[in-house]
Amino acid sequence: MGHKSLNGNYLNNYNDGSLYTYNYNPFKNPYWTIDNPTNDWARLDAIAPAGARAAKLYNRNFIRLDNIALSYSLPQNILERMNVKNFKFIMSVRNVATWAADWEYFGDPETGGLATRTFNFGFNLTL
């Protein structure tokens, strides 16, 4: 909590490669038009004056459920019938969910980049 940063995302300068690299859709953004005068998004392909850095101060507060791991071992009576000493199922999920009330731009509010969700499944068998 309390994380803030400067960022120029509101300028809609997505045509510098990230549009295609990260599959962003800048045309979906409510950018500035005569019919939609807004201070949240600049007009499409807006740029700062030469030598100036145009950026807004963003509130990057977030709450993240980062990791969930579950395992289940089969009961002993089932293992005896299967002639097995141990059988355990394992599942984990990383980067489960992120809640960021004021973060309206793409990517992860912590890093500004992409944060992938990872699933792992497995089992442990002892004969």
Arithmetic mean of pLDDT, 81-97: 94
Arithmetic mean of pLDDT, 99-110: 74
pLDDT digits (tens, 9 = 90+) for 56-85: 777 778 888 999 999 999 999 999 999 999
| Averaged pLDDT score across all residues of the chain | 78
Grade residue 25 by pLDDT with cuts at 50, 70 and 90: low
Q: Of 36-40, 44-48, 88-92, 118-122, where does mean pLDDT reach its minimum? A: 44-48
Q: Is the pLDDT of residue 28 over 80?
A: no
Give 33 or 80, the one with higher predicted confidence. Answer: 80
- Distance between CA atoms of 113 and 108, rounded to whole angstroms? 5
- Strands 4-7 and 63-73, how do they pair? unpaired
Q: What's the pLDDT score for residue 70?
A: 97
Give the global pTM: 0.57
Q: What percentage of the chain exceeds 70 in pLDDT?
A: 63
Identity of the amino acid at 9: N
Q: Is the pLDDT of residue 44 over 70?
A: no
Q: Are 108 and 82 in contact (CB under 8 A)?
A: no
